[in-house]
Amino acid sequence: MNTVKLYIRSMGMLLKSHLQYPLSFFMQTIAQLIMEGGEMLAVILIVNRFRQLKDWTGGNLFFFFGIMSVSFYITEFFGRGITGDFPSMVRTGRLDTFLVRPRGVLTQVLCGGIDPRRITCIAVGVAALVIGSRMSEVVWTPLKVLCFAESIAMSCLLILGLFMIEAIFCIHSVKSVELVNALTYGGRSACQYPIDIYPKPLRMLFTIIAPFALTLHVPAAWIMGKNLYGWPSWTAFVTPLSGVLVFGIMTVLFKQGIRFYRSTGS
């Protein structure tokens, strides 16, 4: 519990420090809004021109887009230490100071960064979710809300886990490995559309290796009253748990990786 308290306190402090430069913060937040708005514009234009994608209606597509951007940007908001700052921590040797403190390295890395500019991206995602659920005529029940919350939480863990792959590579090679971006940012771009439109290799990739399909698409499809893979509806509650699995594996690997960490010097 102590760790959670520590995390919340550091979040508060970091938030304050970001707000020290209000104008710059405001500008960047607006820039983020426009950026994510542009992504949504692409979906709107696609829906406008094509009406539907396989069996998915326009509303379904907005919902998929929304659930993806909400989970992705919540992760970037709170996990900035891993998703953004880590390579520079290794390069500059800042990670060294973490090793001598009486807390886990991962905890400290996560406590070390926050990206509140992403709030506008999350807002765009929420707007897409509202539009999507209206258009798909979703009837929200407590069970669906629970499933939705689980899906978001597990996807956040999954995305964090995927970013940790980059961090683990980074410990070994010092330089950040851009190729992993194909899984993280590529996963976001690909899986903001339902998985079943992709050919088999891509489907396998996003179901087994980076299981966005399990954490996002299966529950989202169930919420909208559709069925993705023809699986029974209880799977909507079970498959998202793969997110915590990926995160767990990556945490273990991360701890292993830290053992091999060699400082770049100061």
Partner 1 sequence: MRAYLTVFRMRMHMELQYRGAMIGGILCQMFFGIVLTALYRALYAGHPQAIPIEHVVTYVWLQQACFRMLVSSDPDLLDKIRSGNISYDMCRPVNMYWFYYMRIMAQKLMGSIMRGVPMIVVAALLPKGWGIAWPHSFAGFCAACFSLVPGLLCMCALENITMGFTMRTLDPRGIQSMLNLLMVTFSGNLLPLTLFPDSWQKVITFLPYAQLLDAPIRLYTGEYAVSEALRIIPVQLGWCFALTFLGMWLWKSNKKRMIVQGG
For position 24 contacting partner 1 by CB under 8 A, the verdict is yes
DSSP code at position 104: -
For position 226 contacting partner 1 by CB under 8 A, the verdict is no
169 versus 261: smaller Cβ distance to partner 1: 169
Selected binder of partner 1 within 39, 115, 150, 166 (CB under 8 A): 39
Which part of the chain contacts partner 1 (CB under 8 A), choosing from 47-55, 207-215, 219-227, 236-244? 47-55
Give the Å distances, CA to CA, from 79 to 23, 84, 112, 159: 24, 8, 9, 10
Question: Cα(100)–Cα(98) distance, rounded to whole angstroms?
Answer: 6
201 versus 265: smaller Cβ distance to partner 1: 201
91 versus 244: smaller Cβ distance to partner 1: 91
Which part of the chain contacts partner 1 (CB under 8 A), choosing from 20-28, 80-88, 122-130, 231-239? 20-28
2 versus 20: smaller Cβ distance to partner 1: 20
End-to-end CA distance of the chain: 34
Interacting residues with partner 1 between 67 and 106 (CB under 8 A): none
Report the interhelical angle of 181-191 vs 142-173 (nearest 10°): 160
Strand 56-57, strand 52-53: pairing: antiparallel
Selected binder of partner 1 within 38, 93, 225, 248 (CB under 8 A): 38
Please work out the total of residues on this chain that contact partner 1, with binding judged by CB under 8 A: 34
Provide the β-strand partners of residue 9: none
Selected binder of partner 1 within 8, 15, 19, 42 (CB under 8 A): 42
Contact 33, 127 (CB under 8 A): no
The amino acid at residue 208 is I
Task: Please give the biggest Cα pair distance in the chain.
Answer: 58
Selected binder of partner 1 within 49, 142, 230, 265 (CB under 8 A): 49
The contacts of residue 213 (CB under 8 Å, 6+ apart) are 191, 195, 203, 206, 207, 228
Taking residues 246 to 265 in sequence order and writing x for each that binds partner 1 by CB under 8 A, - otherwise, the string is --------------------
Interacting residues with partner 1 between 160 and 219 (CB under 8 A): 177-179, 181-182, 186, 189-190, 193, 197-199, 202
Report the interhelical angle of 119-135 vs 58-78 (nearest 10°): 160
The site for partner 1 (CB under 8 A) is made up of 24, 27-28, 30-32, 34-35, 38-39, 41-42, 45-46, 48-54, 177-179, 181-182, 186, 189-190, 193, 197-199, 202
